[in-house]
Structure 1
């Protein structure tokens, strides 16, 4: 291959370039050869409901379809490839969207399984995160999924952002000190919640059996890599300064770590938590200012299609701007069509299989499919629902940046509006409008079916 600066036209006279074809392949020529290929000769099958009217928008289950195709009713066509068939099977509403989808909304879906894993030391654990690097429009909140093996620490640290956490598995000991020198220690189990305001230093340690927890931060650009770590504070201050600060000889600092430990194995926590209840003159942090809430012990509100329980500053005052709902939806049921006037919604799927349609004015709508470990993001006042399209219970966490949990329900709004206005606007019958619920349903009971509903 020529390596000098000789013009291409002159180099061509020196003989053919083995990396490039001849110039006579440019444009039309009667000698051009067409490949005689039938691109319609594709073996495929259609999923139940796939031939129904596209605007009906039934869920299409491609899990056991060998070669799913981007067809919905009379819309779309076959795809000869290349393509990622396994990804298409998991995202049927992306491959064959309902006819009601239109334009392009924000990307309201991120699987934590696609996030880079940050590994701890000596098999002590790991973390994965979601932030604006992967979901640019999710500006209000970011999330981290973290695992600590038995006895492992998330090292002493603090953040510029506030941290709200839900224990997903196992149990964990949390410790912190506030600005006034009050100390806090508590043991939390699956389903419990903790909160640390911005700048409050704390540590976490996995108890027997280890733990996994979900962290939500009040800044969509938050990154675990920008955390203030005790090891880094020591590593990046002169030893002479540290010696003066702690009134110890510099030799006492000879073995401090050179950099972050992040997640590392440690001495197992004592069974008796009182042994780690260190206090100073300010005493302990307790009462309404406590950093933990035993959410696992709160009884959910049982509904025909599932259950829900809410935690917000009304019952957990220290988390003054974090409001959440833990929702369980039975197969075939759905979280009703709603929106949040006061906040974006950051949602994490814990179990089951779901889909949701995000509607953004004037007419953009996208339907997304979700699985456990996925993050959803719905901007403030943008309508959406979350439907259970699997055979098992769907469980997810709805998170708001708000001083109490609230939403607007489509059905309740219309039911509490004079019927004549609704019928004139939507061309619906009085009988249909009379069935709209004047109370929030939260979860709407239904059947999980791909069959077209009857006219009745």
Structure 2
């Protein structure tokens, strides 16, 4: 039996057969314009706005020189900085954020020697979201691959603990290396064989906890701040194994059996993670917290701390440097670090690291660096206190102090010893005729190249 379609249904099928039904809501003439605005129309109005009107501006002396000279441009007192170097660039009428242009002058007006883009090698922790602890006990903020994608080998966390504040009992899949930035703290850990460790650290000291080793940190009187470096660029504070969460997410009957207590022992456990929280001040006598088993304590080369603050720095013409690596701190088997001071106008020499990328933290000062990537790409970056830098393995770079105060720089490598190759020393120790034939530089100038690593080169004229 054939069913007859009603007239409305026949009409709808006919429309579908030849096209589609326009089901879109009618345009609101107050929100959308006319079809006459599509493409060319003799009635179109051509804007005669003068985009040359960028306001009053001045060029610094370095902007008038050949762009390849590439002197640092200090825009801090320039009202209307412009992206101009020599014959390169042009004016910028906006939109723009002048405050950022002043901070990152080498991004606005890069040296003429820059070419292409090496990827990002700079991240300011001021742009990282702060994770706040409980009851004003402290905070942390981190840098990882989410914000600096090229930093695959390492990530960093800046953490502050108020007096008595804890970073709660926890462990990580990644290994943790730390430099105390200020204040003092008590660190504690338990090794897999039951050996225990507790020590007090202060500004300039370092600690290391291998992956999987549970530990805690408590600020002493006055509080503290420290920089944590992890050997995994994808590390996140949000993926840490916390004691509070372990206890909260296992059956209480199992916990009671496992820990040899009654179920009632867990009646008042925390509701969720503690992360950073206030606690009972640590006793002044550290021996009162030295809990041990038959395995005893970690000592000597097994120790998890190194009192780097007491190591004398090696003074050089442009500043100073001191190194801590597994040769002196054996437990930190793949962490090598240098703490470098660069005087105003001085230069952490052009170099590269043959065994590891470099993760850097700028503790103080204002600096710039050019990262070179083969075959012919180079980008210049500007750094300020609280910034992270990342220079991939074997890619050359320098760090120049362009401010009025010392630059204090932490360089961290994933290597069994700290090593770099000096551009100046390489060229100085290569047969001079090869250098002359390759670079067309005179014998007189080649003789001035340093045969010993300067590490930090003094300011011009000093």
Could you state the TM-score of these two structures normalised by the residue count of structure 1? 0.95
CA apart distance, 1:9: 9.4
The 1-side partners of 2:31 and 2:22 are apart by 16
Q: Distance in 1 between matches of 2:252 and 2:21?
A: 60
Distance across 1 between alignment mates of 2:436 and 2:104: 36
Specify which of 286, 291, 294 is matched with residue 307 of structure 2.
Answer: 294
SS at match of 1:296: helix
Structure 2: tracts of 5 or more residues without a match? 1-19
The reply on whether 1:272 has 2:292 as its aligned counterpart is no
Residue 283 of structure 1 and its aligned partner are, at CA, apart by 0.7
Cα deviation for residue 447 of structure 1 reads 3.6
Give the 3-state SS of the residue equivalent to 2:216 in structure 1. Answer: strand
1:454 alignment counterpart: none
Residue 68 of structure 2 aligns to a residue in which SS? helix
Residue by residue, what CA displacement relative to the aligned partner does 1:98-128 show, whole Å, maximum 9, x if unpaired?
0000001120000000001000000000000
| Structure ID, larger Rg | 2
Matched, 1:29 2:41: yes
Task: State the aligned residue count.
Answer: 442
SS at match of 2:62: coil
User: Among 185, 200, 205, which residue is 1:172 paired with?
Assistant: 185
Alignment of 1:94-105 (within 5 A): 94-105=107-118
Q: Secondary structure at the match of 1:54?
A: coil
- From 405, 418, 421, the equivalent of 2:434 is 421
Alignment counterpart, residue 41 of structure 1, candidates 38, 45, 53: 53
Q: Which residue of 1 aligns with 2:4?
A: none
Per-residue deviation, residues 253-301 of structure 1 (Å, max 9, x unmatched): 1111121100000000011111111111111100011000000000000
CA root-mean-square deviation? 1.4
The DSSP-based 3-state class of the residue aligned with 1:55 is coil
Question: Could you say which residue in structure 2 is the equivalent of 1:7?
Answer: 22
Native 8 Å contact 1:356 1:367 kept in 2: yes
Equivalent residue runs for 1:203-352 within 5 Å = 203-352=216-365
Question: CA, structure 1 residues 216+34, in 2 after alignment: closer, same or farther (shift >3 Å)?
Answer: same
Return closer, same or farther for 1:200/1:320 CA change in 2, 3 Å cut-off. same
Counterpart Cα distance in 1 of 2:277 and 2:61 = 50
> Do the aligned partners of 1:139 and 1:219 also contact (CA within 8 Å) in 2?
yes
- Does residue 365 of the first structure (1) align with residue 381 of the second (2)? no
Q: Which residue of 2 aligns with 1:453?
A: none
What is the distance in 2 between the residues matched to 1:184 and 1:294?
15
- The answer as to whether partners of 1:155 and 1:230 remain within 8 angstroms in 2 is yes
2:389 paired residue number: 376
Specify the alignment match of 1:154 in structure 2: 167
TM-score of the pair, normalised by structure 2:
0.94
User: What displacement does 1:142 show?
Assistant: 0.3
Structure 1: runs of 5 or more not aligned: 450-456
Indicate the SS of the match to 1:50: helix
Query: Which SS does the other structure have where 1:245 is aligned?
Result: helix
1:53 to 66, 70, 73: 66
Distance 2:268 2:26 in 1: 64
CA distance in 1, matches of 2:254, 2:112: 67
- Larger mean Cα displacement after TM superposition, 137-146 or 272-281: 272-281
Q: Distance in 2 between matches of 1:299 and 1:364?
A: 38
Corresponding residue to 2:196 among 167, 180, 183: 183
Q: Secondary structure at the match of 1:56?
A: coil
- Aligned-residue offset at 1:355: 0.1
CA-to-aligned-CA distance 1:143-202 (integer Å, 9 cap, x gap): 000000000000000011000000001000000110111111111000000000001100
Distance in 1 between the 2:138 and 2:301 partners?
32
Deviating beyond 2 angstroms after TM superposition, the runs of 4 or more aligned structure 1 residues are 5-12
Q: How far, CA to CA, are the matches of 2:407 and 2:326 in structure 1?
A: 26
Asked if structure 2 preserves the Cα contact closer than 8 Å seen for 1:412 and 1:439, the reply is yes
Offset at residue 84 of structure 1 (A): 1.0
